[in-house]
Amino acid sequence: MNPVLSEKIFKKEAVEYSAGTMTAKGTAMKSLLLLIMVLAGASYTWKVFYEAINPASVQPWLWGGAIGGFVVAMIISFKPNLAQYLAPIYAVLEGLFLGAVSAMFNQAFAESAPGIVMNAVLLTMLTAFVMFLVYRSGLIKVNDKFIRIISIAIGAIALYYVVTIILSLFGVNLVMLHNSGPLSIGISLIIIGVAAFSLMLDFNFIEKASAAGAPKYMEWYGAFGLMVTLIWLYLEILKLLAKFAGSRD
């Protein structure tokens, strides 16, 4: 499951804090606020990219947002009570990163896949909405077995990311895993599927934490965890659309 959202965390925090309780509605509102902050950060680096004489000038914002967002995310993961202060910072930093990455993809595929970024955004939102409906309908039960399966899948994907990065550092480029071939596209579809089902774990965490009377600031933590999954899903969908565009060239 989403590593930043676990039942152990909200049980521990519920014992230590008692100033107000978490609600699903409050978490939804904070998720919306974080999403707006992500869009604000993304709009800035998108503008910088297209107004700069040298588009490469956006690189500091890209890496600053990526590294800064990762560091902040790690702090929040270990200190959930800081989510109310750090989650907005995380959202803006990730927005800076996403805006730069999205602008690069948009420019690179302007001819072969016009509107690739907007399509990725719409597909991400549509996927999130569909998964929410599936969760609310009870069509798929988020039980212990489901959680174990998704957790194992996320672990395997994390290992895949790590191995790929390490190999690239040593000059090993597994082209077949990143080109527009059937294997690469298949891997992307699997990762997107896991990311989509991870949203159900996020919804389940928010519902259970609210019912268990988790402290009020955990609304920010729940919103932060949901944002982590949405950003992951968006990036994978963007990459998949780019692979489809490459396969048509």
Chain segment 51-94, per-residue pLDDT in tens: 887 778 899 999 999 999 999 999 999 999 999 999 999 999 99
Q: Is residue 81 part of a domain?
A: yes
**Is residue 2 within 8 Å of residue 201, measured between CB atoms?**
yes
Both structure tokens of 231? 């950003």
Average pLDDT in the 120-142 region? Answer: 95
Radius of gyration of the chain (CA): 19
Q: Is residue 69 part of a domain?
A: yes
DSSP-derived secondary structure letter, 249: -
pLDDT of amino acid 4:
53
Domain range for residue 89?
7-248
Q: How many domains does the chain fold into?
A: 1
Q: Is residue 163 part of a domain?
A: yes
> Please, is 166 exposed, middle or buried when counting C-beta atoms within 10 Å of its C-beta (0-12, 13-18, 19+)?
exposed
Both structure tokens of 77? 């993961």
Average pLDDT in the 187-192 region? Answer: 95
Q: Is residue 90 part of a domain?
A: yes
| Cross-strand pairs, 118 | none
Q: Is residue 1 part of a domain?
A: no
DSSP-derived secondary structure letter, 23: -
Q: Is residue 89 part of a domain?
A: yes
E strand or H helix that includes residue 110:
none
pTM to 2 decimal places? 0.89
Q: Is residue 146 part of a domain?
A: yes
**Whole-number mean pLDDT of the chain?**
89
Q: Which of 7, 218, 213, 24 is nearest to 136 (CA)?
A: 24
Choose the weakest-confidence range: 11-20, 98-107, 183-192, 223-232.
Answer: 11-20
pLDDT of amino acid 57:
83
Q: How far apart are the first and last CA of the chain?
A: 37
Q: Is residue 2 part of a domain?
A: no
Q: pLDDT of 97-118, one tens digit each?
A: 999 999 999 999 988 889 999 9
